[in-house]
Chains A and B, each alone.
Chain A
């Protein structure tokens, strides 16, 4: 009964080779988030979708893009991964966008860039 699912759990890519990470949810939540977490660091919000409305954080590099084709799925595209993009990528969802809303996280995808 997994609620937020991320695939794959581990992804290896080559420097500069585009890669796509996937997130799906069975909660029917309106909001989906993507975070980047490097080793021993705090998760850092990259962007989020409120329904179909895309919200980018100001300091998210242009190399990172996202798509949300429907309520259940959200993708993170890294157009030209650099060595510094190696990290755990976490997807989260919340029912709505208010401050009372709890975010529920998936297990993460660990990205390795060679």
Chain B
């Protein structure tokens, strides 16, 4: 059975304190892994797609990496506006997105 587990569930950081969010997955034949950001009361906003182990993508203070078992979202020197829930999702064999429950990030000024 496909599984996506995100940790930690919640993370509080001081502004400027770098950290990483984890997404571990168990799927039969990973086709792709997506990272989304979701603000309270809003829809998920696309951040990155990763397709193969070793791949990395960067956008501003965010960097996503992928191994054969997990993905990390590294946040460098976060700002309060980076506060959100970060969702990861894998593409299943049916080409559907299967989401994790997310990591709720709070960045304190």
Contact = CB atoms under 8 A, between A and B. Distances in A.
B43 A90 contact: yes
A87 interface: no
Contacts of B87: 42-43
Interface residues of B, number: 22
A45 B42 contact: no
B102 to A, nearest CB: 7
A7 interface: no
Interface string B3-14: 010000000000
B97 A103 contact: yes
Contact of A43 (B46, B49, B91, B99): B99
Interface of B: 4, 31-32, 34, 36, 41-46, 49, 51, 87, 91, 95-97, 99-102
18 contacts: A41-B101, A42-B99, A45-B97, A57-B96, A90-B43, A99-B32, A99-B91, A100-B51, A102-B34, A102-B49, A104-B46, A105-B36, A105-B43, A107-B42, A108-B41, A108-B42, A108-B43, A110-B41
